[in-house]
A = this chain, B = another copy of it.
Amino acid sequence: DFESALLEVHPLFGVSEEDLDRCVEGGIIKFSPHVDKILQSGRDFINQVRTNTTPLLSVLLHGPHGSGKTALAARIAMESEFPFIRLVKPADMLGMNEIQKIQHLSKSFTDAYKSPLNVLVLDNIELLVDWVPVGPRFSSAVLAAIKGLMENKPPKGRPLLILATTSERTVLQQLQLNFMMQIAVPNVMTARELAGVMLDESMEGAFSEADVERAIGEIREVTGGGEGVNVGIKKVLLSMQTAMQSQDRVGRFAEVMGEAVAEGNAGV
């Protein structure tokens, strides 16, 4: 399969491969044409860097909570087969103080500058700067460091692609954390897309076409009709797992998804 093949090709592939792998545990289901478009843009940006046309390129994947940003960034990074790929995520810096965080981030960039082709995935970049909307609060020191690192041109012959993810695009704009390019990652928006997920082969036939029809009907009832779904792929997959514990899979799935749809509509 893909991952083991990868390992053979790149023995120096680096420490975070398993991390990247786990980000795509649920696979990439093509529930909408957007999914392919995003992957294509990703490949283009990879090439723009590979050819050194642009020696430093920063790209932001933004979209609602659970829409699949991290999985897509990880997939694009892994497909590049660049010799240096690293994932930096908030949980890596647990309990670090500001100085340690800045050192950790700096090191990721410095490491990248040693290899001829590099991808850095900065996951949930608003949390890397400890953003909390209440206040609001954030670490200005870490923010300044990230700005500096992202502005700093890499040494000649060490092109770098930065893939960042966020569910707080407006916040990044307010913090004046700028990206050269941006990609939107949407939720599962329509009943049709939801059906696509339920019937995807990776579900191994957990739901029949009839099940799908019933589930969508019941969701609409709970949420007062309407075509819209607007729930992240992550929550859709979790709802299925929860439903598996119940005798009445379809009913329980509709119940849990109904709550999610309602919350989304209420803007919670």
On A, residues with C-beta under 8 Å from B are: 22, 44-45, 47-48, 51, 53-54, 65, 89-91, 93-95, 99, 102-103, 106, 127, 130, 132-138, 140-141, 143-145, 147-149, 151-153, 171, 173-176, 178, 180-181, 238, 241-242, 244-246, 256, 268
Contacts and interface: CB of A to CB of B under 8 A. Distances in A.
A149 B94 CA distance: 8
26 contacts: A22-B153, A44-B242, A44-B245, A48-B245, A53-B244, A53-B245, A90-B147, A91-B148, A91-B149, A94-B102, A94-B148, A95-B99, A95-B102, A95-B103, A95-B106, A130-B140, A130-B144, A132-B176, A133-B174, A133-B175, A134-B136, A134-B138, A134-B171, A135-B136, A135-B140, A181-B242
Contacts of A45: 242, 245
A90 B144 contact: yes
A152 B106 contact: no
A159 B21 CA distance: 18
Nearest to A181: B242
A246 B136 CA distance: 41
Given A94-B148, A95-B106, 8 more contacts: A44-B246, A90-B147, A94-B102, A94-B145, A134-B136, A134-B138, A134-B171, A173-B268
A148 B238 contact: no
A9 to B, nearest CB: 23
A115 B152 CA distance: 28
Contacts of A53: 241, 244-245
Contacts of A103: 95
Contacts of A174: 133-134
